[in-house]
Amino acid sequence: MGLINQDKRKQISVRGLAGVENVSDLKTNFNRHLHFTLVKDRNVATKRDYYFALANTVRDHLVGRWIRTQQHYYEKDPKRVYYLSLEFYMGRTLQNTMVNLALENACDEATYQLGLDMEELQDIEEDAGLGNGGLGRLAACFLDSMASLGLAAYGYGIRYEFGIFNQKIVSGWQVEEADDWLRYGNPWEKARPEYMRPVHFYGRVDYTPEGVKWVDTQVVLALPYDTPVPGYRNNIVNTMRLWSAKAPCDFNLKDFNVGGYIQAVLDRNLAENISRVLYPNDNFFEGKELRLKQEYFVVAATLQDIIRRFKASKFGSTEFVRLDLSTLPDKVAIQLNDTHPALAIPELMRILVDIEELTWEKAWDIVVRTCAYTNHTVLPEALERWPVDLFKNLLPRHLDIIYEINKRHLERITKLYPGDVDRLRRMSLIEEADIKKINMAHLCIVGSHAVNGVARIHSEIIKETVFKDFYEVDPEKFQNKTNGITPRRWLVMCNPGLAEVIAERIGEDYIRDLDQLKQLLDFVDDDTFIRDVAKVKQENKMKFAAHLEEYYKVKINPNSMFDVQVKRIHEYKRQLLNCLHIITLYNRIKMEPNKSWTPRTIMIGGKAAPGYHTAKMIIKLITSIGDIVNNDPVVGDRLKVIFLENYRVTLAEKIIPASDLSEQISTAGTEASGTGNMKFMLNGALTIGTMDGANVEMAEEAGEENLFIFGMRVNDVEAMDKKGYDAASYYNRIPELKQAMDQISGGFFSPGQPDLFKDLVSMLMNHDRFKVFADYEAYIKCQEKVSALYKNPKEWTKKVIHNIAGCGKFSSDRTISQYAREIWGMEPSLEKIAAPDDPR
């Protein structure tokens, strides 16, 4: 304990100052919270009691700033941005709040003086796992950046009672467990019942002389929970508002109820199921009614809130209430995180036309100028296409509105391209197949003033392929906004050692302005700096090795190269290519056991969607390879294979700072951006990767010679699609590939069940959409270069420094500044506002 503290006390600048008054106040408040907890319940404090006391003590420092920030917005009446997302993958909140409020050292000292270990307390907090992967984590990074840039921003989503499942590995197979993250309560949220909103489903549409009425609906109430989002040391605290579903008091009791009173009360669960659980699919569309309900639920509740706030906000004078909604786009920007909140477009139309009684033309102009859409994938199986029949039943008025939007849209296209019926079919919002479906991406493009991809290559691909027709009609709509990550969580918080080593050379302003990392190029030949960077990496590796031993009972060699691929398990991410490299390396070591091999610990982690059979088989293959490799005495500790169970934000914060090699090996043209790639780069790992997603821009920023780039480019993949991909030709031509595949199919890795992996083998040989074999040779050769360079620690570390120095572009602060200026019409600012204890 003492050692940890001594170590941390050196890292004063990045972690905030531990002033005496500060520490003494924190101790007083900690004891007050602890006493309150114990008076209520018991008289013996548990670790969890101490965690809640600390969390509440830190939360106290947020509330004054939170209230003052919201007051500041009310008075200044800035344009507000609403980030709508079905996912917010937040992880833990305590340490991030301490970092952003500069409380970390003071809290550490206070808990230390009280005889407690702050790290132990932090480990009690549950992850808020309200997301699947990249899309949900991006939303969380964006919230941090919007607050740090002083934007009046609100994240709106669903307060799922159960987030992404916990993954257990049992006999090498993934088993899912419900994530009951709210079991002990959540100190970071505040319920706001005074802002409860009704949301309507089902019913029918009446066309009356007074206008259109949506009647006989079922009502579900949306109860908001607010979570504070602090900016980095600027005293701004924004709000993330998540909606929870509540049945109204008269639910199922108003009409003559055959089942009786008891059954009616039990049936309240049906309404409240809307916010029960996160759908666990990443890059895959599942057209279930409950999911459509979730999408409409968040949109309907949020739009009521947006319009209430727009009408009520002060505008020069307190008496003035805005009734004219024509100025909405001047005061409100709505960003749709993928198509999941696409119903915001017809819902806003419904409000403006049916309730506010604007003309269609006026309403449509407002909608388009207010909304903007971010596309996250080009995989066809991920694009949302809702059956018309589902809509007709659940949201009949919205179906009518979508039909009208489509009618006017197609009239416009007809004028531009008379007689081109195939173009009309391709561009329609309604796909006329055996089952009529609504194409939500088309709805988003037509209903938004800006459409963006999430990396340069991805934004080009959507203009040239999936949305080509739309780009030809409205080229000015299409933009690129390359993703980024917050350097607060992904450097200062998870890697304080590296943050400090950097701050010693260039000061700590880089934390707000990551472009300043370029200054590190001045130190690329500085032996002391090289040594410091390498030392921090080694310490992080030792710490992670200890973590692995404590929690998973596996011993690894901390002097081996930590070769890491952590991300959702998906065929396009090509964990199977990694497996083939592992097997090849294993076979080579077995063949020449006396050669001087670069030792590697290969770690793969990630969750598979519960219904994705192939992904679950990939996990079983990885664990099975590990069972053989890790128990072969000839190999020893020169090669170890570890499957990292239950990969999540909190595990990412531990493994990424300890990694040497980052695996980013998706087939070119399939990974829209990736953000894990940026986290590894910022934390001193080198990347082995294809020219896909943001890897392209990473190579551009750091210098392609400082990454290990291999494999087909997008144009090579397209050429191969035209000519046809023949897996067998690679299998027959490359002996090491054939050997590896024969071992998998012959039961070498599954002696008890020789045909266990026959489905995977058959997929790779006969219908592999992602062309694993086509990149195998280039990948193996590239990995040989990696092993060779790792033997020269100084040259390796120089490349690491080039990479860290090239990370500036990949701050979500840069991404959000571009959204603000180029899409939302807002100006970011690094100004501080007054702290609550300052006079105004």
C-alpha to C-alpha distance for 679 and 80, rounded to whole angstroms: 29
C-alpha to C-alpha distance for 540 and 555, rounded to whole angstroms: 16
Structure tokens belonging to residue 728: 């067998």
Looking up tokens 């500060």 gives 22
Q: Provide CB contacts within 8 A for 478, sequence distance 6+.
A: 451, 452, 459, 462, 463, 467, 471
* Residue 403 CB neighbours (<10 A): 16
C-alpha to C-alpha distance for 69 and 62, rounded to whole angstroms: 10
CB 199 within 8 A of CB 247: no
- DSSP-derived 3-state class of residue 394: helix
218-230 vs 237-246, strand pairing mode: antiparallel
DSSP-derived secondary structure for 198-253: EEEES-EEEEETTEEEEES-EEEEEEEEEEEEE-SSSS-EEEEEEEEEE--TTTTT
C-alpha to C-alpha distance for 774 and 667, rounded to whole angstroms: 10
CA separation, residue 443 to residues 276, 281, 359, 537, 830 (Å): 28, 22, 20, 47, 36
C-alpha to C-alpha distance for 506 and 342, rounded to whole angstroms: 44
451-453 vs 437-439, strand pairing mode: unpaired
C-alpha to C-alpha distance for 685 and 562, rounded to whole angstroms: 9
**Among candidates 193, 299, 207, which has minimal Cα distance to 246?**
193
Q: Which residues are tagged catalytic?
A: 376, 567-568, 573, 675, 679
Cα torsion through 49, 126, 675, 573, rounded to 10: 150
**Among candidates 66, 80, 83, 190, which has minimal Cα distance to 136?**
83
Looking up tokens 């590239």 gives 782
Beta bridge partners of 229: 238
CB 375 within 8 A of CB 451: yes
CB 563 within 8 A of CB 660: yes
**Among candidates 751, 773, 777, 775, which has minimal Cα distance to 761?**
773
CB 370 within 8 A of CB 328: yes
Structure tokens belonging to residue 189: 């949220």
CA 832 to chain centre: 28
**Among candidates 165, 161, 141, 136, which has minimal Cα distance to 153?**
141
C-alpha to C-alpha distance for 679 and 685, rounded to whole angstroms: 9
CA separation, residue 317 to residues 39, 70, 80, 325, 671 (Å): 47, 17, 19, 18, 50
C-alpha to C-alpha distance for 598 and 561, rounded to whole angstroms: 8
Number of helices (H), then strands (E), belonging to the chain: the values are 35, 25
Taking the CA of residue 589 as centre, how many other CA atoms within 13 Å lie in the half-sphere pointing to its CB?
22
**Among candidates 18, 205, 206, 49, which has minimal Cα distance to 112?**
18
C-alpha to C-alpha distance for 527 and 66, rounded to whole angstroms: 45
What's the CA angle centered on 325, arms 320 and 331, to 5 degrees? 80
Residue 115 CB-density burial (10 A; 0-12 exposed, 13-18 middle, 19+ buried): exposed
